[in-house]
Amino acid sequence: MYKGISTKKASAISSDKRSTIWIATDKGLYRALYPKWSLYAAGYNSVSEDEQDIFKRFEREPGVRDVQNAAIAYAEVQPKKIQGWRKQARIKAIIPELTLDYDKTVTTALGATYDRVQVGPRDWGLTLKWDIGDLIFSTEQTSIDVRSRLMVQLRDDILDEITRTYFERRRLQMDAYLLQTSQDLKQKLQKELRLQELTADLDALTGGYFSDSIKQVEK
């Protein structure tokens, strides 16, 4: 549905009885005419049994949310990772800096008629040091904030790429199935190659999860 829309910022989406989808964005109102099977994919059930059979072909494939989660895990940009950094920074402020040493004591005594040096036993030394400022605001929080913004931006880019690739692949599957009787050999091969390319893109972004998930269901 992103085709023809010049912005990614959409605030509302709705459909009417004529299968027209309306999208309100920061650059105006867009509309798109979609067949009923597209509405079924979005959660509507007003389709025929033949149209439902089309979607049964894709039941063995993971959903877009599963693929998104796999891509986030593969790229290690989970929100929990940032939360872990902040927790570790707070714990670090509580834990003191520890210094341990093992040395001997040397005592000297100097007088008018004598010089005396006494070597004492070896002793252990333990020093604990806290930075009170870190208990109020850790200096590492600034670094974490910068890394957090970069990670959120990277995660959004990955999710956007996954979503576009996933549904472009699904549209290609729909097109190949619905028009298979009228396509010539060249068109079929082009669509098949494009389908394999999109599958490879999803595997690259998820560490092979997409194809592995399909194979697991087939087994």
Q: Does residue 204 share a domain with residue 169? A: yes
Q: Does residue 83 share a domain with residue 141? A: yes
**Mean pLDDT confidence for 116-122:** 70
- Does residue 106 sit within a domain? yes
- Give the count of domains, the chain: 3
The whole-angstrom separation of Cα 140 and Cα 55 is 50
**Residue in the block written with tokens 């619905």:** 178
Residues 6+ apart with CB under 8 A from 140: 89, 92
Both tokens of residue 111? Answer: 């007088």
The whole-angstrom separation of Cα 206 and Cα 208 is 5
- Does residue 66 sit within a domain? yes
- Does residue 33 sit within a domain? yes
Q: What is the tens place of the pLDDT at every residue in 181-191? A: 555 777 777 78
Phi, psi of 106 (to 5 degrees): -120, 125
The whole-angstrom separation of Cα 205 and Cα 70 is 8
| Three-class secondary structure of residue 26 per DSSP | coil
The whole-angstrom separation of Cα 18 and Cα 126 is 79
Query: Is the pTM above the cut of 0.95?
Result: no
**Mean pLDDT confidence for 51-56:** 66
Given this model, what pLDDT does residue 37 score?
42
Q: Does residue 80 share a domain with residue 154? A: yes
Name the residue among 46, 42, 41, 43 with its Cα closest to residue 17.
46
Q: Does residue 36 share a domain with residue 1? A: yes
Q: Does residue 115 share a domain with residue 181? A: no
For residue 129, give its domain range.
98-134
Local confidence band at 34 (pLDDT 50, 70, 90 cut-offs): low
**Mean pLDDT confidence for 119-143:** 76
Name the residue among 170, 148, 2 with its Cα closest to residue 77.
148
- Does residue 52 sit within a domain? no
